C-alpha cells in the first residue's frame, strides 16, 4: 500500500496481518451489541465472529520527503524474547524483505521515529549481531520522545514496571542510546518542515502522534491512540495496556476531531486493509470513510 500526501510519499511495510486478541481481552468495555450496526463492513475483515477475534495488522510506515527517508514505528522484530506475549516471541519474519520491496534498504533510512516504546513499535530498532543487539539502521537518527524514554528507562528509581514490556528497553532501546544514534525530543520537533511530533499521552505517558503536512494536505500517524476501527465508533474503548485509560480516551477524541477538522488522512499502526482512512463527523460521534 502506497499513498501520496502532497509531495510526500508514504508506504506500508507489513510484519503481521491476521487474527489477534478477542475483543473483550483488548477492550474490557467491549459489548457484543457493538458489532451488529457495523457488521456490513466490520465482518470478516476486522472481526471474525466464529473465532471471536479481532483482525489486525502490525506494520511500519515509510515516509519519503524530497530530502530524507523516515521510518515510523518498527514492529516486533526478529528473535526478541517476548514470552509474555507468545505471538511476539522469537519471531522470524520477512519484514526486512518487505522493506526492500518498497525500495528501502536499512542503510537508506535517515530517521526512525517511534510513536511510543511498546514491544510492537520498536522491535526492528535493533537486530542480533554476533550475540549483541545493534541498531538495524546504521545511518539513521532514532527519534524518541523524551518523556517516553524516561517512562521506560528501567535504570531509573521509581520505574513503573509493566510485565507486558519486559526486555524491550534492554534489547530495543538501550542499544540505540548507547550507540549515540538516539535523539530525545519534545513536542514540536520537526523533520523537513513536513513531520511534526505532537504529544498524545494516555496509552503511554509519553506517547506521541506525528503530523505530516505537505502542499496543503495533512495526515496523522497515530500509533496506538486507536488500535482498531471499533474505537472510531466507540472512543470509550480503552485497553488494559493503557497507562492512563481516561487520558487515552481524551487523546483519541482529540485525534478524531482533528482528522475531521483538517481533513487529515489517518495512518494507524494496527488497522487491517486498507490500513488508512479518513474520519467523518456524525450526529452521534464519528465514522470511517475507507475511500
Q: Which of 73, 103, 36 is nearest to 222 (CA)?
A: 73
Confidence of residue 124 (pLDDT cuts 50, 70, 90): very high
Q: Does CATH number 3.60.15.10 belong to domain 2-223?
A: yes
- pLDDT of 1: 79
pLDDT number for residue 121? 98
d(CA 75, CA 56): 13
Q: Return mean pLDDT, the chain.
A: 97
pTM: 0.97
How far is 128 from 146, CA to CA, in rounded Å?
26
Residues 173 and 135: beta-carbon distance below 8 Å: no
Q: Quick one: average pLDDT of 129-145?
A: 98
For the record, the C-alpha cell of 84 comes out as 509474555
From residue 216, give the alpha-carbon distance in Å to each of 43, 212, 248, 254, 266. 35, 10, 29, 21, 16
Of 85, 241, 77, 224, the residue nearest 162 (C-alpha):
241
Look up residue 278 and give its three cell numbers.
479518513
pLDDT for 67 equals 97
Whether the pLDDT of residue 253 is over 80: the answer is: yes
Please state, in angstroms and rounded to a whole number, the distance separating the CA atoms of residues 89 and 186: 32
Closest CA to 56 of 10, 120, 104: 120
Q: Per-residue pLDDT for 157 more than 90? A: no
Contact 6, 215 (CB under 8 A): yes
Amino acid at each position: 500500500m502506497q499513498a501520496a500526501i502532497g509531495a510526500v510519499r508514504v508506504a506500508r511495510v507489513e510484519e503481521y496481518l491476521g487474527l489477534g486478541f478477542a475483543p473483550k481481552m483488548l477492550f474490557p468495555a467491549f459489548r457484543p451489541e457493538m458489532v451488529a450496526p457495523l457488521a456490513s463492513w466490520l465482518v470478516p475483515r476486522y472481526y471474525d465472529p466464529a473465532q471471536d477475534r479481532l483482525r489486525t495488522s502490525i506494520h511500519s510506515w515509510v515516509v519519503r520527503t524530497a530530502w530524507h527517508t523516515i521510518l515510523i514505528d518498527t514492529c516486533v522484530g526478529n528473535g526478541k524474547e517476548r514470552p509474555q506475549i507468545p505471538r511476539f516471541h522469537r519471531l522470524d519474519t520477512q519484514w526486512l524483505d518487505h522493506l526492500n520491496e518498497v525500495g528501502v534498504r536499512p542503510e537508506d533510512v535517515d530517521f526512525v521515529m517511534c510513536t511510543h516504546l511498546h514491544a510492537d513499535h520498536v522491535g526492528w530498532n535493533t537486530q542480533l549481531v554476533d550475540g549483541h543487539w545493534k541498531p538495524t539502521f546504521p545511518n539513521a537518527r532514532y527519534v524518541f520522545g523524551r518523556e517516553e524514554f524516561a517512562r521506560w528507562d528501567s535504570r531509573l528509581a521509581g520505574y513503573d514496571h509493566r510485565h507486558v514490556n519486559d526486555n524491550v528497553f534492554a534489547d530495543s532501546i538501550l542499544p540505540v542510546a548507547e550507540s549515540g544514534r538516539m535523539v530525545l525530543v519534545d513536542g514540536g520537533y520537526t523533520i523537513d518542515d513536513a513531520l511534526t511530533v505532537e504529544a498524545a499521552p494516555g496509552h503511554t505517558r509519553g506517547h506521541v502522534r506525528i503530523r505530516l503536512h505537505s502542499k496543503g494536505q495533512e495526515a496523522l500517524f497515530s500509533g496506538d491512540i486507536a488500535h482498531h476501527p471499533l474505537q472510531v465508533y466507540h472512543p470509550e474503548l480503552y485497553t488494559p495496556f493503557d497507562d492512563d485509560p481516561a487520558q487515552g480516551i481524551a487523546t483519541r477524541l482529540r485525534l478524531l476531531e482533528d482528522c475531521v477538522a483538517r481533513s487529515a488522512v489517518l495512518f494507524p499502526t494496527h488497522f487491517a486493509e486498507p490500513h488508512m482512512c479518513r474520519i467523518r463527523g456524525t450526529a452521534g460521534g464519528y465514522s470511517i470513510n475507507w475511500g
